[in-house]
Copies of this chain bind each other. A is one copy, B any other.
């Protein structure tokens, strides 16, 4: 039993070729991270493009590069092309890995409730956040759509002359006041194609209303305030 020690550290006292050792020196000459990057603040200070890694990395690099490398291909000497290939491959993979972790910490910076955790949990929380965010966006956009549709619905209800009380709950986009022979209509709508007044006047003509005064005022960047006064024809 001359091999009584455990096998985990088999590579420590294993003989290796001089060129292989030199190759490992070359690889180690540019470490993935600097030596003093332990126990930094893991939360902030990173906005999508920082070069440093603020998370508390395990940094088992200085050992892992030496020990687990399968330097055991026996009697591999020479082959410098292969060696350069291997080195570039190692460096490329190292770069890819560290820019992936960089993207992860950028994600943790953009998403508010995402502090230190595993990457899988970070992704899961990010997915939940995205879903909740799109849900909120669709809800708000539907509320905005309600405003637009209320005008059309109220015009239809005017044509049917049934319910005027439906749209006066949420947003008073259309208001109408009638006297015995006149009607005052106020409309707030989004500025769309510049044909809003023509459409409205066409509707009023179908309703046998004779327009006597009108005012179209722009409000904000995309809103119109339209006021129309028309005479009611009585047969």
Contact = CB atoms under 8 A, between A and B. Distances in A.
Interface of A: 3, 6-8, 10, 48, 68, 70, 72-76, 79, 82, 96, 99-100, 103-104, 106-107, 110-111, 119-120, 123-124, 126-127, 129-131, 133-134, 136-137, 140-141, 143-144, 147, 171-172, 175, 177, 179, 182, 184, 186, 188, 213, 215, 217-220, 223, 225, 227, 229
Contacts of A188: 177
5 contacts: A68-B70, A111-B130, A140-B144, A179-B220, A215-B215
Most buried by B among A70, A147, A188: A70
- Please name the 7 residue pairs, one residue from A and one from B, whose CB atoms are nearest each other, closest first: A7-B73, A215-B215, A103-B123, A140-B140, A10-B73, A72-B72, A7-B76
Nearest to A216: B215
A82 B7 CA distance: 10
How many copies of this protein are present in the complex?
2
Contacts of A70: 10, 68, 70, 72
A84 to B, nearest CB: 15
Contacts of A124: 48, 103, 106
Contacts of A123: 100, 103-104, 106-107
Contacts of A73: 7-8, 10
Contacts of A106: 123-124, 127
B182 A220 contact: yes
Nearest to A140: B140
Given A7-B73, A127-B110, A219-B177, A184 B103 contact: no
A127 B107 contact: yes
B100 A119 contact: yes
A77 to B, nearest CB: 9
A123 B111 CA distance: 12
A126 B140 contact: no
A154 B213 CA distance: 26
A130 B129 contact: yes
A225 B176 CA distance: 12
Nearest to A146: B220
